């Protein structure tokens, strides 16, 4: 039995039956036949179904945001933003998919025509995370469905109600029940799903689980995409507007309670402005309203996972034990729910877990650097490679710093940002493969090469 908790109250919201190996096998078998029929339909029908889904999500936005807020503790204003903006991603795919699917003749001569056609993979597994279930889910299932795949979709155990709402709206919009199939449960159910002969695995989650998945499926040589964690740095040069940069980086670090794959997790500030920047940053964090996620004014709700409180406390204790200075927050709140006061440290360095391991919560360290060269060294000192940000009045200078970093996304004077038009990809421990943009449509396709000799 899967118990869905409200992290703000620790009350049980729902108890649901979990899937197991036999129910998953049955679902996969049905999905196989349904996928072939789905792929054979005219593209216009699949486009129309997903356009209806977009409209249904928009029409139901308030209730969907409330469900999301209740089960993951996301402040209602931020939940509305997530549900509201998923439409823009769907639109991107609706407009982009036809061109990607078009046959391409790449060569013709007297003897030969060479042609490329695109085919769906088949039935794919999507194992998803809870932190942005609408965004990271839609990045996968929307293009996957549009190009003709069936999707066995395992929402995170912390976002199951949202996963069921997604399934309900897709089915009501005309995606057959055997083409988009929810699989309910926690990690063991995800592992059981991987044992089935799916045509591809699309995973969003932590490096630790992603690595286990990569190892488990390696012998099968199937399409594997891993969107994993980060330890994303931001460098603040001395030529910025200090208050504006402090406010922007604080938002990048603490939005969604720091539970974003691309949250700013390490801050490096130029020595020339270190003191006023740290002061402005800490003031911004102190101003964040911590409280009930259903309250309109709340900026920081509870953590989604209660067990993560102890993890944050460990990172904090380790940093303090190695000379870090706590400037604000860092305690659990004396109330039900998984609340942790947003915490800022300075005097941190890379001997501390806080500056090396993904934190995924409202806790961040600020380190002082002497200039761009040292910033590059510190920013690059990580096994992750999702994003990096530079705040500077000088765009050329920012580009020089960012070009030296092995990351999928580079931000100048912004951070914690995702665009449907740009590829979203991690390097090294941040993952393999790509969602969004035109590349994030190809992820769900396999090209076929046609060598056509004229008789």
Instruction: List residues near ligand NAD by CB under 6 A.
Output: 127-132, 136, 154, 156-157, 186-187, 190-191, 194, 204-206, 209, 212-213, 227-230, 261, 358, 360, 386, 424, 426, 431
> 230 or 342, CB closer to ligand NAD?
230
Distances in whole angstroms, Cα of residue 1 to Cα of each of 15, 172, 189: 6, 26, 12
Q: Which is nearer to ligand NAD, 131 or 149 (CB)?
A: 131
Nearer to ligand NAD, 205 or 330 (CB): 205
- From the CB of 40, what's the least distance to ligand NAD, in Å? 31
Other residues' Cβ atoms within 10 Å of the Cβ of residue 296: 10
Q: How far is the CB of 129 from ligand NAD (least distance, A)?
A: 3
Nearest distance from C-beta of residue 312 to ligand NAD, angstroms: 14
Q: How far is CA 300 from CA 226, 243, 334, in A?
A: 28, 21, 15
Q: Which is nearer to ligand NAD, 34 or 165 (CB)?
A: 165
Residue 260 CB, shortest distance to ligand NAD, in Å, is 7
N residues, the chain: 455
- The HSE-up count of residue 426 (CA atoms within 13 Å, CB side) is 26
| Rounded distance between C-alpha atoms, residue 237 and residue 370, angstroms | 10
* Least gap, CB of 156 to ligand NAD (angstroms): 4
Query: What is the side-by-side order of every strand in the sheet holding 387-391?
Result: 325-328, 343-346, 363-369, 264-270, 232-236, 387-391, 409-412
Measured distance CA(312)–CA(365) in Å, rounded: 13
Shortest distance (Å) from residue 422 CB to ligand NAD: 13
| Minimum CB distance to ligand NAD smaller for 169 or for 189 | 189
Measured distance CA(248)–CA(415) in Å, rounded: 8
Minimal CB distance to ligand NAD: which residue? Answer: 190
Which is nearer to ligand NAD, 38 or 132 (by Cβ)?
A: 132
Q: Evaluate whether 312 touches 304 at the Cβ level (below 8 Å).
A: no
Structure tokens at 249: 């980086």
DSSP H/E element including 401: helix 395-403
Q: How far is the CB of 114 from ligand NAD (least distance, A)?
A: 35
Name the token pair of 288. 């964040």
What one-character-per-residue DSSP string does 192-229 give? HHHTS--SEEEEES-HHHHHHHHHHHGGG--EEEEE--
Q: From its phi and psi, is residue 185 left (phi > 0), alpha (psi between -120 and 50) or beta?
A: left
Q: Are 200 and 223 in contact (CB under 8 A)?
A: yes
Pull the structure tokens for residue 89.
Answer: 């991603």
> Measured from the CB atom, is 70 or 242 closer to ligand NAD?
70
Give least dist CB 258 to ligand NAD, A.
Answer: 10
Q: How far is the CB of 142 from ligand NAD (least distance, A)?
A: 15
Minimum CB separation of residue 111 from ligand NAD in Å reads 46
Task: Outline where DSSP puts E strands in 237-362.
Answer: 264-270, 325-328, 343-346
Nearer to ligand NAD, 87 or 190 (CB): 190
Of 136 and 375, the one with the shorter C-beta distance to ligand NAD is: 136
Q: Which is nearer to ligand NAD, 82 or 358 (CB)?
A: 358
Closest CB to ligand NAD among residues 127, 348: 127
The nearest distance, CB 13 to ligand NAD, in angstroms, is 17
* Residue 403 neighbours by CB distance under 10 Å: 9
* Cβ–Cβ under 8 Å, residues 149 and 123: yes
Reduce the DSSP state of residue 347 to 3 states and report it. coil
Whether residue 195 contacts residue 183, with contact meaning beta carbons closer than 8 Å, is answered with: no
């Amino acid at each position: 039995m899967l118990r869905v908790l409200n992290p703000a109250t620790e009350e049980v919201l729902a108890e649901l039956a979990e899937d197991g190996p036999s129910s998953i096998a049955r679902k996969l078998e049905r999905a196989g036949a349904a996928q072939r029929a789905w792929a054979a339909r005219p593209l216009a029908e699949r486009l129309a179904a997903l356009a209806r889904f977009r409209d249904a999500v928009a029409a139901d936005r308030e209730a969907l945001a409330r469900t999301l807020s209740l089960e993951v503790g996301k402040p209602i204003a931020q939940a509305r933003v997530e549900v509201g903006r998923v439409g823009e991603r769907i639109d991107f795919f609706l407009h982009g998919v036809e061109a990607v699917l078009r046959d391409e003749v790449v060569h013709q001569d007297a003897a030969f025509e060479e042609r490329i056609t695109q085919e769906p993979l088949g039935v794919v597994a999507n194992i998803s995370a809870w932190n942005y279930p609408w965004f990271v889910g839609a990045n996968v299932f929307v293009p996957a469905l549009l190009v003709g795949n069936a999707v066995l979709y395992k929402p995170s155990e912390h976002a199951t109600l949202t996963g069921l709402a997604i399934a309900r709206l897709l089915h009501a919009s005309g995606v057959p029940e055997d083409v988009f199939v929810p699989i309910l449960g926690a990690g063991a159910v995800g592992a059981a799903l991987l044992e089935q002969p799916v045509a591809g695995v699309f995973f969003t989650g932590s490096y630790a689980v992603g690595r286990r998945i990569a190892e488990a499926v390696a012998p099968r040589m199937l399409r594997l995409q891993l969107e994993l964690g980060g330890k994303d740095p931001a460098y603040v040069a001395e030529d910025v507007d200090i208050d504006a940069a402090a406010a922007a980086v604080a938002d990048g670090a603490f939005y969604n309670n720091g539970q974003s794959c691309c949250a700013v997790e390490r801050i490096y500030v130029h020595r020339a402005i270190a003191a006023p920047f740290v002061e402005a940053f800490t003031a911004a964090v102190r101003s964040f309203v911590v409280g009930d996620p259903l309250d309109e004014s709340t900026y920081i709700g509870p953590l989604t996972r209660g067990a993560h409180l102890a993890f944050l406390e460990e990172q904090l204790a380790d940093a303090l034990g190695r000379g870090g200075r706590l400037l604000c927050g860092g305690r659990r709140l004396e109330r039900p729910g998984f609340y942790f006061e947003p915490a800022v440290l300075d005097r941190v360095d890379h001997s501390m877990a806080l500056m090396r391991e993904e934190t995924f919560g409202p806790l961040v360290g600020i380190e002082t650097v002497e200039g761009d060269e040292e910033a590059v060294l510190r920013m690059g000192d990580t096994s992750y490679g999702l994003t990096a940000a530079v705040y500077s009045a000088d765009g050329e200078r920012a580009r020089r710093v960012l070009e030296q970093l092995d990351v999928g996304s580079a931000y100048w004077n912004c951070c914690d940002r995702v665009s449907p038009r740009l590829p979203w990809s991690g390097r090294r421990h941040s993952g393999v493969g790509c969602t969004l943009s035109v590349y994030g449509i190809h992820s769900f396709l396999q090209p076929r090469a046609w060598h056509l000799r004229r008789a």
